[in-house]
Amino acid sequence: MTALVLNGLVNGIIVGGLYALLGLSLSLLYGVLRVVNFAHGELVIGGSFVAYMLFRALGLPPLYSLPVAAVSFFAAGWCAYYLLIPRLSRSDDPETMSFLLMYGLSIALAATLLLLFGADSRSIDYSFNPISVAIGPVNVSTARVVALAVTIVITAAMGWFLFRTLPGKALRAATMNREATQIIGINVVRLSALAFALAFAIAGMTGVLIALVFPAFSPFSGGEYSIIGFIVIVLGGLGNPVGALIAGVFYGVAEQMATVFLPQALAQIVGFALLVGTILVRPTGLFGFRALR
Amino acid sequence: MTKPPSPLALADREHGDRIYRRLAVLLGAAVSIYFVSVPLLGLNVAFHFYMMLWVTMATAFNITSGFSGYMPFGYVAFYGVGAFTTAVLVKKAGFAMFVALPVAGLAGVLLSLLFAPTLRLSGIYFAIVSFALAGICRLTIANLPEEITGGSFGLQLGSRAQPIFAFYTMMAVMLAALLGVLWLSRSRLGKALRAVRDDADAADMMGVNVGWVRLQGWMLAAFFPALCGGVEAWYTNVVDTETAFNTLITAKTVIYAVAGGLGTVTGPVVGAIAMSWLDELIWRRFPLINLLLLGVAVMLLVLFLPRGLVGTILRARPQWRRYIP
């Protein structure tokens, strides 16, 4: 029993790290732009398929496709921002309309992946040299440990960027008060484009890691990750990147523990119930503070 | 100190109301005659059945989004629960179809009461919670004992197929929904709903019971999709969780309603009819990239016609607002 619980805990932290990345990029977008990215899951799966393609075509190990995914998704995000968002802000209710827009994007992306790769589940047939490592009494696959390490590196880099560099501080400032940021002479449009591109880049890298950690992915599995991302950002407080990190790990552990103690289907309901309960009881999130307006 | 309206203004308003009523009757008659004659003339029954279904769904969605200002992204929950209520009652409890359908509608209303606490949320929070609640409904029904809901295979209604009856029942439901919204748009409740949507505090100050008004709109908006789900179950004879709770049902409802324009009676009708045709054309021409085109159509719609067809026309010609239902 203790072995099962320990196993759940370790895997929960690894999976939770990925969920934290989902939440991090979603909350970055929501914070700066008030855009809820419904297409996030599909973007993530797009990242998985980039790793899959590079591995199949060039034999590139998944870790090397991380920078490729990051750069290509960053560029795609930059373009997507200028294509989509400036027009959006002209509508009567940009927040709801952004949800609808991203919904359309998610349908279009899933359909594109379906056309390119077919409906079958795919996996990357790649393994590290010792296939698994022992952490105390628990055996974990090396791929998962590597994924956790990469997650920590990405998170640390984002933390350094957000808290130590000028553009990062500007991003956080825009999250707190967009108008005031504009008044002190920061180019909010370019900043928003940066946030959009960064969120896309994180999504792409998350996708590569998901291809390492989870056994399979298909064009239809994007929706699940979007929902997990929503749960995480709501638990952590919308637009709060640090809260999203904590909430991601928390939710990952809770989910893995639930699969230890409950049947699979109930574990899914637990996630939804957690989300609904949190919003109804504490709309600012478990770790949130009331946003300054 | 409000002045009584001058006789001239009164006459003007009556003139406007007369045109409004005439247009409503004319449109209603045109729609009814068209759909009544579909099976008689041997037109495509399935296509028109779904067109009526989408008109009803979009019209009912308009009550909660256009009139009340909520965007339930889990709208399919009502539809799915209606479908399953009908199927279980008919198949397992041996109810007659015409008894089961109203009960399905009531089940939708009951579900809306269960979801009522979410009405204190707004904007994106409401949308996300609604989406999650639809997921919970789907998972709950999928995990009920197989003797009741048929598990992953779903329920087959077997020999109860009466497509033409189902077609005309769908038409009755659609007309009921249209009449309901037509009444709502001019009623006290409709005005109260709009007032609450625009400024809940101000409406509260004016003596509107905000919570009760919202709840009424919400129940009305839940009743019709549940009926739609029930009638569709009757029409296709099959219910299962994957199709009855498919998020595409929410997506199409929202898209069709937005395409026509929220907040007007004609908007969702025009949107649903136009988009059904477009969908059919796309399907026939490009069956493979159908889904991709749907996604792109949504994005273009949001970017270039955020107020919908009717909404854009009314914005260009605000004086027509008095005449167009």
ipTM comes to 0.83
Strands (E), chain B: 155-156, 238-239
Can you tell me which residue has the tokens 């109860």?
B160
Domain ranges of chain A: 2-128+142-281
Q: Is B292 on the interface with A (CB under 8 A)?
A: yes
Asked whether A283 and A272 are in contact (CB, 8 A), the reply is no
Q: Is residue B4 part of a domain?
A: no
Cβ–Cβ gap B117/A106 under 8 Å:
no
Region at B144 (left for phi over 0; alpha for psi -120 to 50; beta for the rest): beta
Most confident of A12-21, A275-284, B125-134, B141-150: A12-21
A63: buried, middle or exposed (CB in 10 Å: 19+, 13-18, 0-12)?
middle
Chains A, B: CB contacts within 8 A come to 121
Does some domain include residue B280?
yes
Distance from CA of B309 to the nearest CA of A (A): 14
Tokens of B214: 């919202």
Separation between Cα atoms, residue B210 and residue B197, nearest integer Å: 10
In the CATH scheme, what is the code of domain A2-128+142-281? Answer: 1.10.3470
CB-based contact A100 B298, cutoff 8 Å: yes
| Residue B3 falls inside a structural domain | no
Report which of B243, B284, B250, B16 is spatially closest to residue B133, judged by C-alpha positions.
Answer: B250
User: Domain limits at B42?
Assistant: 9-322
Query: Shortest Cα distance from A87 to chain B (angstroms)?
Result: 6
Q: For residue range B293-321, what is the model confidence (pLDDT) as tens digits? A: 888 888 998 888 888 888 888 888 888 87
More confident residue, B107 or A223: B107
Give dist(CA A107, CA A206) in Å, integer. 20
Give A276→chain B minimum CA distance, Å.
6
State whether B128 and A279 contact (CB < 8 Å). Answer: yes
- Chain B residues closer than 8 Å to A111 by CB: 289, 291-292, 294-295
Query: Could you tell me the pLDDT band of residue A287, with boundaries at 50, 70 and 90?
Result: low
Residue of B nearest to A263 (CA): B143
Q: CA quadruple B40, B42, B46, B52: dihedral positive or negative?
A: negative
pLDDT score recorded for residue A286: 67
Whether A293 has a pLDDT exceeding 50, the answer reads no
Give yes or no for residue B2 having a pLDDT over 80: no
Q: Beta strands of A57-105 (E only): which ranges? A: none
The answer to whether B323 touches B20, Cβ cutoff 8 Å, is yes
Interface test with B, best of A103, A235, A274, A279 (most B CBs within 10 A): A103
CA distance A168 to A186: 12
- pLDDT for B159 beyond 70: no
How many separate helices (H) and strands (E) can be counted in chain A? 11, 2
**Mean per-residue pLDDT, B250-277:** 89
Q: Which of B129, B142, B298 sits opposite A104 (nearest CB)?
A: B298
Q: Percent of chain A at pLDDT above 90?
A: 34
Calpha distance B60→B66 (Å, rounded): 10
Q: Which tens digit of pLDDT belongs to each residue from B230-248?
A: 999 999 888 888 889 988 8
| pLDDT (0 to 100) of residue A291 | 45
Q: Would residue B29 count as lying in a domain?
A: yes
Tens digit of pLDDT for each residue in A198-236? 999 999 999 999 998 888 888 888 888 988 898 888 888
In this complex, which of A90, A105, A223 lies closest to B295 when CB atoms are compared?
A105
- The set of residues, in sequence order, having a beta carbon less than 8 Å from that of A233 and lying 6+ positions away, is A23, A26, A27, A30, A239, A244, A247, A285
DSSP string, B51-113: HHHHHHHHHHHHIIIIIT----TTTHHHHHHHHHHHHHHHHHS---HHHHHHHHHHHHHHHHH
Query: How far is Cα of residue B315 from the mean position of the Cα atoms in its chain?
Result: 23
> Do A108 and B127 make contact, defined as CB atoms within 8 angstroms?
no
The total domain count for chain B is: 1
Check CB contact under 8 Å for A279 and B254: no
CATH of the domain at B318: 1.10.3470
pTM listed for this prediction: 0.87
The distance of B295 to chain A (nearest Cα, Å) reads: 4
- Please provide the distance, in angstroms rounded to a whole number, between the alpha carbons at the two ends of chain B: 31
Report the alpha-carbon distance of residue A84 to residue B267 in Å, rounded.
25
Orientation of helix A222-236 relative to helix A2-33, angle to 10°:
80
Q: Is the pLDDT of residue B3 over 70?
A: no
Those of residues 130-189 in B touching chain A at CB distance below 8 A are 131-133, 135-136, 139-140, 142-143
Question: Which one of B123, B131, B133 has the shortest CB-CB distance to A95?
Answer: B123
- Whether A115 sits inside 8 A of B288 (CB atoms) is yes
- Going from the C-alpha of A219 to that of each of A106, A112, A116, A119, B152, the distances in angstroms are 11, 9, 10, 7, 22
Q: How confident is the model at residue A288 (pLDDT cuts 50, 70, 90)?
A: low
Q: Is A281 an 8 Å CB contact of chain B?
A: no
User: In terms of C-beta density within 10 A (0-12 exposed, 13-18 middle, 19 or more buried), how is residue B96 classed?
Assistant: exposed
| Lookup: tokens for A4 | 């099962």
Angle made by CA atoms B1, B5, B9, in degrees to the nearest 5:
150
Chain B residues close to A109, C-beta within 8 Å: 295
